[in-house]
Amino acid sequence: MLRNSASFSSKLFYLSNTSPNHSIISSSNPLRSAAHGVQRGVFATHLCSTSAGISSSVESLKPGLEKPEGERAFRFVSPVTVINPSTLASASVSKARDAVESFRHYGRCYWELSKARLSMLVVATSGAGFVLGSGSAIDVAGLCCTCAGTMMVAASANSLNQVFEINNDAKMKRTRQRPLPSGRISIPHAAIWASTIGIAGTALLACKTNFLAAGLAASNLALYAFVYTPLKQIHPINTWVGAVVGAIPPLLGWAAASGQLTINGMILPAALYFWQIPHFMALAYLCRNDYAAGGFRMFSLADPSGQKTALVALRNCLYLLPLGFLAYDWGMTSGWFCLESTLLTLAISAGAVSFYRDRTTGNARKMFHASLLYLPVFMSGLLFHRKTDDKQGLTEKNPGVLLGLASSETWAEESENSIRWNRPKRESHAGIQPRPPVAFASVAPFPFLPAPLYANPDS
């Protein structure tokens, strides 16, 4: 269009120069001819400037050409912005890359705050307690919910522990690279994460299992975060308080499966309690300098020779010996578990004896590794040799060991069936109705009393 307008201007200028009227006017009236000449000169100058401006604007639109200085050019502003597709694609890729990096960063921070490997060990003990308390039928959905809730509560407790110990962790070599001391995540962020996941885990246990399991989880969270954690900087008894914290998860699993606490459910918690003492005594001896730098009051710091530390570890190893026999005597497992548990306990006790006789870093590390092997083998044997009978022989051998209360109707029905099975059949005489069966159970508190006499309902 610019070229057409330029050609049109040039043609118009040519016609104005070759017009016949121009010759007539110039011949007849010189003054008018002169005036017309001036007018023509102005008109020609205007057309020339216009054509020059148009050509210069056309040249300015050519890409890659610079305009000479002093040259006028027209600028055209387009109302539609054209976006390069390659630029848009690169921006999208950059945003996706940033999102992935942020997800990896916070995922790694949450993983380290939760002490995920330690939390998974807690989940394993809770799941084992659930299986042991389930009897012959295992609720898979309930088991999954119990493990998920336990994992969330354990992660919350470990995160709160690091929030409270951020200054201590910054002084220790093995903990100074954690998310909080290294500055990879802020304290409010970590506190919000810990609170959210702790409340969610407790609510999951309350909704999907029972309030007893949820109460044990909440109590253990409070005990670990608000009692054990500050006690580590006050008194060496913190190790025994921490052992109580570690013994509650299998009890939680048992309560989630059975809805009650019985003496049979104490086998695995007792094993965990006594196992943790030699485990942490070995760790405290190996890291005693680091604990001293962090300001923690561990038992090994008040024992420079390590003799008391090794003796405490050996004593608690020996406490593990009768657990296999008790599990067999109470009808939880077969006799094979009693033998396997005894051999396993003697093995870890041998490591403790070696550490007691020669208190070196190598012997302490051997006892630590032996403790790591003991727990999974003990739990595996307990699950493999367990008896699936719901009663597990408890009511026949020791009727008074129940801590939970079962419904009276269930016990009455079971005792009635046992009486009918063991009582000889008697033929009823004509006109005499047999008396209703006496509903005293084998677990009654006074089984030696005579059976009460009931009046005939028809009389």
Q: 333 by DSSP, 3-state: which?
A: strand
Which tops the pLDDT comparison, 439 or 94? 94
Q: Which residues pair with 386 in a beta bridge?
A: 333
Taking a C-beta distance cutoff of 8 angstroms, is the pair 370, 355 a contact? Answer: no
pLDDT of residue 83: 64
Q: State the average pLDDT over residues 10-38.
A: 43
Query: How far is it, in rounded angstroms, from Cα 347 to Cα 335?
Result: 19
pLDDT classification of 306: cutoffs 50, 70, 90: confident
Provide the percentage of residues in the chain whose pLDDT is more than 90: 50
Most confident of 80-89, 121-130, 399-408: 121-130
pLDDT of residue 12: 44
Query: How far is it, in rounded angstroms, from Cα 148 to Cα 164?
Result: 25
Which tops the pLDDT comparison, 430 or 361? 361
pLDDT of residue 86: 76
Structure tokens at 449: 């009393």
Residue 25 has pLDDT above 80, yes or no: no
pLDDT of residue 395: 39
Q: Which of 315-319, 396-400, 412-416 has the lowest mean pLDDT?
A: 396-400
- Nearest-10 Cα torsion for 351, 341, 320, 314: -10
pLDDT of residue 301: 87
Provide the residue count of the chain. 459
Q: Count Cβ atoms within 10 A of the Cβ of residue 297 and give its class: 0-12 exposed, 13-18 middle, 19 or more buried.
A: middle
Q: State the average pLDDT over residues 154-165.
A: 94
Query: How far is it, in rounded angstroms, from Cα 242 to Cα 276?
Result: 8
Tell the residue number behind the tokens 């390590």, with chain if given: 306
Which tops the pLDDT comparison, 376 or 434? 376
pLDDT of residue 40: 46
SS3 track for 26-65: HHHCHHHHHHHHHHHHHHHHHHHHHHHHHHHHHHHCCCCC
Q: 386 by DSSP, 3-state: which?
A: strand
Which tops the pLDDT comparison, 113 or 18? 113
pLDDT of residue 289: 87
Q: Smallest Cα–Cα separation from 368: which of 382, 378, 354? A: 354
Q: State the average pLDDT over residues 378-403.
A: 64
pLDDT of residue 112: 93
Residue 377, C-beta contacts closer than 8 angstroms, at least 6 positions apart: 344
pLDDT classification of 417: cutoffs 50, 70, 90: low
Q: State the average pLDDT over residues 335-358.
A: 93
Query: How far is it, in rounded angstroms, from Cα 229 to Cα 188?
Result: 19
Taking a C-beta distance cutoff of 8 angstroms, is the pair 242, 276 a contact? Answer: yes
pLDDT classification of 293: cutoffs 50, 70, 90: confident
Neighbours of 301 (CB within 10 A): 16
CB-facing half-sphere around the CA of 324: CA atoms within 13 A: 22
Q: Count Cβ atoms within 10 A of the Cβ of residue 326 and give its class: 0-12 exposed, 13-18 middle, 19 or more buried.
A: middle
pLDDT of residue 206: 95
pLDDT of residue 80: 52
pLDDT classification of 194: cutoffs 50, 70, 90: very high
Taking a C-beta distance cutoff of 8 angstroms, is the pair 324, 338 a contact? Answer: yes
pLDDT of residue 145: 95
Residue 26 has pLDDT above 80, yes or no: no
pLDDT of residue 365: 92
pLDDT of residue 79: 53
pLDDT classification of 247: cutoffs 50, 70, 90: very high
Q: 236 by DSSP, 3-state: which?
A: coil
Taking a C-beta distance cutoff of 8 angstroms, is the pair 43, 50 a contact? Answer: no
Taking a C-beta distance cutoff of 8 angstroms, is the pair 224, 213 a contact? Answer: no
Structure tokens at 46: 């205007």
pLDDT of residue 61: 40
Q: Which residues pair with 333 in a beta bridge?
A: 386
Neighbours of 160 (CB within 10 A): 23
pLDDT of residue 135: 81
Mean pLDDT of the chain: 76
Q: Which residues pair with 205 in a beta bridge?
A: none
Q: State the average pLDDT over residues 432-451.
A: 40
Query: How far is it, in rounded angstroms, from Cα 459 to Cα 457?
Result: 6
pLDDT digits (tens, 9 = 90+) for 29-80: 443 444 444 344 444 444 344 444 444 444 444 444 444 444 444 444 455 5
pLDDT digits (tens, 9 = 90+) for 211-246: 999 999 999 999 999 999 999 999 999 999 999 999
Q: Which of 5-9, 188-192, 333-337 has the lowest mean pLDDT?
A: 5-9
Residue 410 has pLDDT above 60, yes or no: no
